Amino acid sequence: MKIKIGHLYGNLMNTYGDNGNLLMLQYYAREKGVTVETEIISLEQPFDPNEYDLVFFGGGQDYEQYIVSLDIKEKAEQIKQYIEQDGVLLAICGGFQMLGHYYVDATGKRIEGIGVLDHYTLNQENNRFIGNITIKNEETGETYHGFENHNGRTFLGEGVKPLGIVQEGKGNNNEDQTEGAHYKNVFCSYFHGPLLVRNQHLAERIVELAIANRQKKNLIA
């Protein structure tokens, strides 16, 4: 069996080694006997929601995020379709922010997101959330460890669950104890480092969801 991974803006969005998450996804898929094909979808390239079994969207600096924010609007409907048909997606930091309604960057500029997830992000003046972080996923009981470094303060809407509840660290906004987001088969987080290197159980779950979706597609075909 083969799964195909789509790497959204992989040539622009790779802050703090976020692409390590992609390497971990590839590794665990191969450990399960699955062949992996990976393709970057970047500026002025179409996104086909039926083409991919797993999508990764990393973080970027404000300049790169602004460039991506202009282009991703053209892909918004297709990304929404992918998500709503249970496509598996992992988004980190800037990728997480852009899936929401909007984010305010460090200079105070509001950047429109694509609104495929119900959240928004505000900035902080002369401050960042930096340090080790531990969260607990209330659905699975799993604990995730990582490192956060972000200016943004993200607030989730009613239709989106957090990836976990903060045990140590700041999380999405240092107010409501949430970290990241989970909607259908979409997983979002501010963890850099990257997230999946320290949290094998989450990496395996994401890969297993992608494999299950591919198996369903093969049966239909």
Q: How far is CA 32 from CA 3, 142, 152, 186, in A?
A: 11, 21, 36, 21
Catalytic residue among 101, 182, 192, 201: 192
Expressed in percent and rounded to 5, the helix, strand and coil fractions of the chain are 30, 30, 35
Respond yes or no: is residue 192 known to be catalytic: yes
Catalytic residue among 7, 93, 119, 150: 93
Distance separating alpha carbons of residues 94 and 189, to the nearest angstrom: 10
Torsion sign over Cα 175, 177, 183, 187: positive
Respond yes or no: is residue 182 known to be catalytic: no
| Neighbour-count burial for 104-135, b at 16+ CB within 10 Å, e otherwise | bbeeeeebebbebbbbbbebeeeeebeeebeb
In degrees and rounded to multiples of 5, residue 204 shows phi and psi of: -65, -40
User: How do strand 54-57 and strand 143-150 relate by DSSP bridges?
Assistant: unpaired
Distance separating alpha carbons of residues 10 and 39, to the nearest angstrom: 9
> Which sequence positions are flagged as catalytic?
93, 192
